[in-house]
Amino acid sequence: MVIVMNKKGFTLIEVIMVIAIIAILSLILIPNVMVLIDKNKERSCEKMIDNIESAAKMYVNQNKYELGFDCSGTPKGIKLKTLVDAGYLGGELVNPINKEKISLESEVSVTYNCKVKGFKYKANNINCN
């Protein structure tokens, strides 16, 4: 018994169907991947702001008496350069969304609340939009 095999390859219809399936899958996947990338950039920026505020918390914890907080509610500004020089932050800060360097002249506002005996921190001039 002899089996004869067809060695022509793929037909034009088969190639077109494979290309159509790949095109449909890419139309579905590419927008979803782009949305995920944007969301991850936003989360990364929010985490960076959290890290900056945490560095300010550690700095204030070590220097609260020298900073002279009072019950007036007036915020004190701590420059990012101060946090970098004190070793609480890395040297170069980059916004993950637009890849711009964050100025070390930017500040973290720290307000002391006498009623709850606690501090409130807010990183200024850093946008995650």
Task: Compute the residue count for the chain.
Answer: 129
Using 50, 70 and 90 to split pLDDT, how confident is the model at 7? low
Q: Is the model's pLDDT at 29 over the cut of 90?
A: yes
Q: Is the model's pLDDT at 127 over the cut of 70?
A: yes
Average pLDDT, the chain: 88
Q: Is the model's pLDDT at 100 over the cut of 80?
A: yes
pLDDT at 5 (0 to 100): 59
pLDDT at 31 (0 to 100): 92
pLDDT at 58 (0 to 100): 94
pLDDT at 91 (0 to 100): 73
98-103: long-range contacts at Cβ-Cβ below 8 A with a sequence spacing of 24 or more? 102/126
Q: For residues 97 and 128, what is the distance between their CA atoms, to the nearest angstrom? A: 7
